[in-house]
Amino acid sequence: MRWDIFCKVIDNHGDLGVCWRLACQMAAQGDSVRLWVDDGAALQWMAPTGHAGVQVVDWRASAAVLEAAAEAAPDVLVEAFGCDPAPELIARFAEAGSDDRPPRPWINLEYLSAEPYVERLHGLPSPVFRGPGEGLSKKFFYPGFTTATGGLLREPDLTSRQEAFDRAAWLSAQGIDWQGERLVSLFCYEPPALADLLGQLAAGPVPTRLLVTPGRAAREVEAITGLNAKSAPYVRGALSISWLPYLTQQDFDHLLWASDLNFVRGEDSFVRAIWAGAPMVWQIYPQDDDAHHVKLAAFLDWLGAPASLRHGHLIWNGFEAGPLPSLDRATLAEWRANAQSARERLLQQNDLVTQLRGLISQKS
């Protein structure tokens, strides 16, 4: 099959990360994919070697759009996160589908949520009443955490790769002189409790190495500590800090597998942290209407989060004031058991690609 996946990069890398993983999984199963993206610069470090079967096309290049509009239309069109694909390509898709029985699938891939409405809307049609796609119908595809949703992206060999992962070897390859101390990864926006986290780790009884990702996380740690990410590793009390380079998607997974506690943000890293099965604190993408408050609460409800983990999420996201919960061994053991239980539940469900293929095979 031939797929066109459309992605617009808003202000971070999560949308592109999700779409790249989806495209690669489709290609790994023998399909060909064109990934249309308006800013693919992050793929230079996210996926520097590309992937066989995936063609990245600059959505802003009018010549590429016109060339594609003159070629055969894809078998499936995926519009990621309501990004409004190029009208010329929608017109070509509609034209090619006019003689098909049934029409070619147009999938509206939505953001991940555990809220109840996801189960109600997943798989429903959305007729198109205007524009070049008039007369066609999209299908809503909602990723989620239950069997009534579209599931989560998960490669078939994910668990076997994780079981074979050598933490010490990977850390050594990153130039990190690990001596058995606790490892905490930091991928965040600008959480109000970050200074509290750094202080707690420094004053705590457990030697801890904070693995700081580049970009917003590194800049915020620099602002709090007065350090420079290009400087030597920082040591203060029980806390040492190592600055990471931009990681490929595979190495970002390795970072999450290597760490004893993961602070993640957005959607793509959030899902990968779930599969890591380690304790995790999620900084949800903020929305102007505070809809992210409800979204976070729905996830914590599905997770069955212990009280300390729920409280930690509220503090980390700035929904409540006060110090973070103590990150002692007992607390992290409870969080780990909760994370492992959630991971096992999800492994019993079909992954997103399997469910997406099932949806497009439906006759109506």
pLDDT for residue 99: 64
**Do residues 113 and 144 touch, judged by C-beta distance below 8 A?**
yes
- Residue 289 bears catalytic tag: no
- Residues in the chain with pLDDT < 50? none
Q: Quick one: CA torsion of 5, 11, 12, 16, rounded to 10 degrees?
A: 10
- Residue 267 bears catalytic tag: yes
Residues 79, 7: Cα–Cα separation, whole Å: 7
Q: Quick one: CA torsion of 176, 178, 181, 187, rounded to 10 degrees?
A: 20
Annotated catalytic residue, options 4, 15, 79, 260: 15
**Do residues 74 and 4 touch, judged by C-beta distance below 8 A?**
yes
User: Looking at the DSSP assignment, which residues form a beta bridge with residue 125?
Assistant: 139
CB proximity list for 216: less than 8 A, separation 6 or greater: 188, 189, 190
Annotated catalytic residue, options 4, 110, 251, 267: 267
pLDDT digits (tens, 9 = 90+) for 107-149: 999 999 999 999 999 999 999 998 998 889 999 999 999 999 9
Three-class SS state of 191: coil
pLDDT for residue 29: 96
Whether the model clears a pTM of 0.85, i.e. scores above it, the answer is yes
